[in-house]
Amino acid sequence: MSRQIASRAAQAALLLILVSLATFSLVRLAPGDPGVFLYGTSASAEDITLFRARWGLDAPIHIQYLRWVTNAAGGDMGRSYQDGRPVLAVVAERIPASLLLAGTALLFATALGVGLGIFAAGHRFSGWDRAITLLATLCYSAPAFWLGIALILVFSVRLGWLPSGGIRTLVGTSDAGDLLRHLALPAAVLALRDVGRFARITRSSMLEVLAQDYLRTAAAKGLRSRTIALRHTFPNALLPVITLLGMSIPGLLSGAVIIETVFGWPGMGRLAIESAIQRNYPVIMGEVLIVATLALIGSLLADIAYAVADPRLARSERE
């Protein structure tokens, strides 16, 4: 397992460099000057020149990238063009809200998707199985922004059950019930796509495991059905789910950009949109690097969990 972790860590470091290079190039080549966005169209050419010189934007793009990489490696991701605050401080304010949204969505998607997949596999080829398969397909293919707006119209505008946006009704309050009411709609929309994926993968995996000979052998030895399910069926059927879990983390973090914008959720996704509109290069780069790091850490943890859950990997490494 140690060699696998070391290999994945090396791959993660290389991937971070490639992501940073691609993002740096794209944001610099995008039309629009950050000085114009900051000072407005009334700014003089001298003001724009001074702004670019202050932030090092007058240097060639490869020099700008090398400076940024060197500083980022030392923990300095620059300062925001808008207020001059360190990028890490700006992004750190938004991380808890994004992690709360993504974590809640992941728990909801895993619990509901795996539960539906197991139920569908236990009632295969029945009306329940077909209904769950259809529901999983609809969840997977529904556009998140459309679904978010539709739920706002139903549950917020028409029924008035849940708030349409934000994270709290009153700024500075610590009411857990109010937080959950604001969290319900964005977390549900963010989770629905993965509910369909988890349900389909779990159903297919369960049916594949149920057809194996060792389950029939276990039943022939007189083991109870509950023992067979807990010791043999579920552990093997859920191995693909662990892999899917790791693959879902980057999707949740990137999908939060749309969801946080639709629901006005004050997380990193909304900050990314705001920074892109303002051409706030340091914040964009810092956020991309942090989100990519979180996604890679999540995938690495999923790989470790898979290796622990599947003893065949440990045996192959020892051999």
Instruction: Give residue-wise pLDDT tens across range 15-71.
Output: 888 888 888 888 888 777 787 777 776 777 787 888 888 888 888 888 888 988 888
Phi and psi at 138, nearest 5°, equal -65, -40
Nearest to 35 by CA among 25, 23, 44, 24: 44
d(CA 222, CA 243): 32
Q: Give domain limits for the chain.
A: 2-68, 95-266
State residue 313's pLDDT score: 53
Estimate to the nearest angstrom the gap between the alpha carbon of 179 and the chain centroid: 20
d(CA 199, CA 114): 5
Based on C-alpha coordinates, what's the Rg of the chain?
A: 24
State residue 227's pLDDT score: 67
Q: Which amino acid is at 27?
A: V
Ramachandran region of residue 125, left (φ > 0), alpha (ψ -120 to 50) or beta? left
pTM of the model: 0.79
Residues 139, 144, 148: CA angle, nearest 5 degrees? 105
Below-70 pLDDT ranges, the chain: 1-2, 4-5, 41, 171-174, 214-215, 219, 222-232, 306-319
d(CA 78, CA 139): 40
Estimate to the nearest angstrom the gap between the alpha carbon of 301 and the chain centroid: 14
**Residue for token digits 């460099």?**
17
d(CA 205, CA 207): 5
Residues recorded for the chain: 319
Phi and psi at 23, nearest 5°, equal -65, -45
DSSP state, residue 236: H
Nearest to 269 by CA among 281, 278, 260, 280: 260
Q: In DSSP terms, which residues pair with 79 in a beta bridge? A: 86
State residue 230's pLDDT score: 64
Domain 95-266 has CATH 1.10.3720.10: yes
d(CA 82, CA 252): 28
